Structure 1
């Protein structure tokens, strides 16, 4: 039954990501032009993340920060991060910067729904139990994404953002991800996708 569910989920991911890419192609073009006009640098931002079975892959996002932003600060963004461009702040607000991940889904690196993939630096801190979230494909959205939609604002209110992220937010996210694995099915996935769309509008 588990393999059947995984097969159905993968077919659903392929069909929906293809439909999404086709429908959203005008937005991809418009956003790409706006980013290139707004600041110098690549249109896409690629970052190493850890996926299923601890395999690393490049996650795709529209670039929302100045070029080489990671060399100028942490791998998490906090509050009104000075590295975020004006265009980038709008893309982030409506989660438009995440849309290129539909190509990650099509490639098989990610799923539409699943635990958000972390950077290797933070995955190295997982306990053996928490590493169970790496048994399935990471996703564009999940239960944690809905709870922490305003994560940047939350981190902007604490004295040590990275420490708070690791010890509080990341721990809660992993608990939610483990819960998701237990109740995951196609109907639950669709409900999370709809909730995500509603929250981003």
Structure 2
């Protein structure tokens, strides 16, 4: 598989959360993965259960390359810019969907995995760390803030449209959210397509 950080495993006890992610979790290529806007990757147990049914195999926490397997809170259904408190002190912000890649396909060892994962739209969410601290298995996640624009990770991944672009631009202009630079690049490409 080469050098990759996709192989995640559950750990016991608290793990420190820094601005660039969990202590000991170093991305092999920060050009395409990681950085402050993709410091953590959260995947929901509900989505994992869907894939367990589809693939007819066990899918333990970490198999999707996720740092956090969460229950009781949406990841794909989270609103871009939504903020969560994890445990006592860590605060994170939902930033973007996970885009599947060839490394992920090799990890899953499933034919046409990238295509299947994309079609299902159950992609999970990258998180920006707002407040550092420690997390551990079993920590509660509390939703602190949900932006009014309403554009979810799943909508942005599957069917972004002009209305979604306008809503995100307005929310950023109002100071409600802070978008990654990639959003603005995608805005321009999409608007050029619509205009042509």
Q: Give the structure-2-normalised TM-score.
A: 0.29
Of Structure 1 and Structure 2, the greater strand share is in 2
Of Structure 1 and Structure 2, the greater helix share is in 1
